[in-house]
Each structure stands twice: as C-alpha cells, then as structure tokens.
Amino acid sequence: MSLTNAIHDSLPYIDAEPTPSERAAALALIVEEVGSEQTDSHPSLPPLAPQHFSPLIESELLRIENKQPLAAIDRNRYEAIEPPTTSPHSDGRPPETLMAWREALQKAYTSQSYLVGRTTNLALLEKYGKNAWLIGNAQLEDVLRGLEMELGERKAEVDGVVIERKNAQEAVGGEVKGLEEAWKRGVGRVLETEVAAEGVRREILEQRREGAR
C-alpha cells in the first residue's frame, strides 16, 4: 500500500462535521488529483538496492514461478532396501554382482546412520524437548509483553496529542467563531453597500434621463 493513499481525519472539534456529500466531493477531488492507482513509490523512500541472486536462488524462484512441487529430499534412500537377487557367494561372481551388492551395502549404511541419528534426536527431544518448549514459550511471552507495553505507550502518546489538539482548538473556539461572525457581518455590509451603490447609480441615471428630456 502506498503511503500517499492513507487518509487521516482532521479531528474537528470546533468546525462543523462535513456532510456525506461534501466528504464524497472532497475525496473525488483528491482521487482526481492523485490518481486512482498510485504505482510509484513514495519520494521519501530510498531506491531499491540492485538484486543479485545465486544460481540456486534463481532456480528456486523459477520453480516457484512455474508452481512446481518441491523435491528437496529423496526419501527412497531411507526406505527398506531390497538386496540383489544374485548371491555374492556364487561361483562366477561377475563384477556386476559385486557392484550391486556394494551399492546395496552403501545404502544400508546410509539408512543405518540416518536411523541412529533420528533415534538419538528423538531421545534428546523426549528428555529436553519439554523444557526447551517451555523456555521458548516464556521468551515469546516476554517479547509479546514488550510489544504490548510499547503499543500502550504509543496509544498513550496518541491520546495525549489528541487531547492537546482538542484543548488547543477549544481554547480558540470562541475567537474563531467571533472572527467568523465578524467576517459574515463584513460580507453582509459589503453586499448592502454594493446594493445601495447600485441603487444610487440607477437614480443618477434616471435623473440624467429626465434632465435630457
């Protein structure tokens, strides 16, 4: 959302509240001046720094743009391994058989290492996970309390500014109303003077017409 599209009320305390039609007309003039869609950034914002992504990030962004599913982990290596059908103790023992058994043994070692690490992690989680979870919750609660305190302080500052503004407007309310009434009376007198001058001008023209006869 653009910063220039934010609308703030003027918080009038001594002025009359605008009618819905007046507010709609004012907003229409604002939209006409600013534009219905503001795509440019606010002039106070600094320009964006040039972006340089690694090939890995570029490929990931391309995958997200194409909405392709993520295939980060090959789970086949952790599934049950089927041994080769040929026995390694056969008479011929061709190189293909030895290679197949060597690959199966390597996969078995990988699976065993994974299962040992997972068992260790589950044991640690069972022993220390509860306390770590409680400590994490306590830290999050501290952060939340700090944010709520800061929010309360900001609200108090806003309320103080609003009260000061209200008091300042109400303090000069009488003077403003008096000036407005004086302005209205002045405008009325100017109009009365213009009407009287127009009447005198017509009388003069009429007397000139009669004298010309």
CA nearest to 103, candidates 82, 130, 127: 82
Over residues 145-163, mean pLDDT = 91
Token couple for 45: 């914002």
Is residue 194 over pLDDT 80? yes
Asked if 177 and 26 touch (Cβ cutoff 8 Å), the reply is no
Token couple for 194: 């213009």
CA nearest to 107, candidates 74, 85, 71, 150: 74
Q: Is the pTM of this model over 0.75?
A: no
Residue written as tokens 């996969």?
107
Residue written as tokens 């830290």?
139
Give the C-alpha separation, 166 to 11, whole Å. Answer: 8
Per mean pLDDT, which range of 8-22, 119-133, 179-193 is the poorest?
8-22
Give the C-alpha separation, 119 to 132, whole Å. Answer: 18
Sequence ranges of the domains in the chain: 77-162, 172-213
**Residues 103-123 pLDDT 10s:** 888 888 888 888 899 899 999
Query: By CB neighbour count within 10 A (0-12 exposed, 13-18 middle, 19+ buried), where does 84 fall?
Result: middle
Residue 200, pLDDT score: 92
The gap between the terminal CA atoms of the chain, to the nearest Å, is 78
Is residue 14 over pLDDT 80? no
Is residue 153 over pLDDT 90? yes
Residue written as tokens 């600013």?
34
Query: By CB neighbour count within 10 A (0-12 exposed, 13-18 middle, 19+ buried), where does 186 fall?
Result: exposed
Confidence of residue 7 (pLDDT cuts 50, 70, 90): very low
Residue 137, pLDDT score: 94
- Specify the higher pLDDT residue, 94 or 90: 94
Mean pLDDT of the chain: 82
**Residues 55-85 pLDDT 10s:** 889 988 998 999 888 877 777 666 667 777 7
Confidence of residue 87 (pLDDT cuts 50, 70, 90): low
Per mean pLDDT, which range of 87-91, 126-130, 159-163 is the poorest?
87-91
**Residues 177-190 pLDDT 10s:** 899 899 999 999 99
**Residues 37-55 pLDDT 10s:** 556 677 788 888 888 889 8
What single-letter amino acid sits at 155? K
Is residue 10 over pLDDT 70? no
